[in-house]
Amino acid sequence: METQVAIGQQATIKKVFTKSDLDKYSKLININTNNSQNNVVPEPLLAGLFSMLLGTSLPGEGTIYLKQDLNFLFRAKIEDELLAKVEITNIRRDKGLITCKTTCINSKNEIICEGEALVMNKNKASGE
């Protein structure tokens, strides 16, 4: 039996992106890293932290990522320790839908980005 989720549950991950991470990302999407922003973590990598948390930690296995809204307030710098967090804010047990607040802060405790994710996990939302 799956463990049900509850409003207020949280999951976090700490991550330090390196120049090597940015080089790999740049090769993957086929862009040139020799520009003035090569010390800035691209926003899709930050969004990926939330995707990883949602799919592996909370709600976890079996989660379908439906929607993500993010507002970027500061730029994340490479070599800065970032803390990404998801927190369950609403559960529609009849539909298996789970809404999560998503937040990423830097080592200065500045909010880099914040938003909301909507996921589906019928087993964990309904307790089946």
What is the CATH number for 25? 3.10.129.10
User: Omega before 44 cis (within 30°)?
Assistant: no
How many beta carbons lie within 10 A of that of residue 113, not counting itself? 22
Q: Which two tokens stand for residue 4?
A: 């049900």
Query: What are the b/e assignments for 18-48, b being 16+ CB within 10 Å?
Result: eeeebeebbeeeeeeeeeeeeeebbeeebbe
97 in any annotated domain: yes
Residue for token pair 């880099």: 112
73 in any annotated domain: yes
| pLDDT recorded at residue 36 | 45
Tell me the residue range of the domain where 31 lies.
Answer: 10-126
48 in any annotated domain: yes
4 in any annotated domain: no
pLDDT tens column, 49-62: 999 999 999 888 88
| pLDDT recorded at residue 38 | 65
Q: Which residues of the chain have pLDDT under 50?
A: 1, 35-36
1 in any annotated domain: no
Amino acid, res. 55: G
Domains in the chain: how many in total? 1
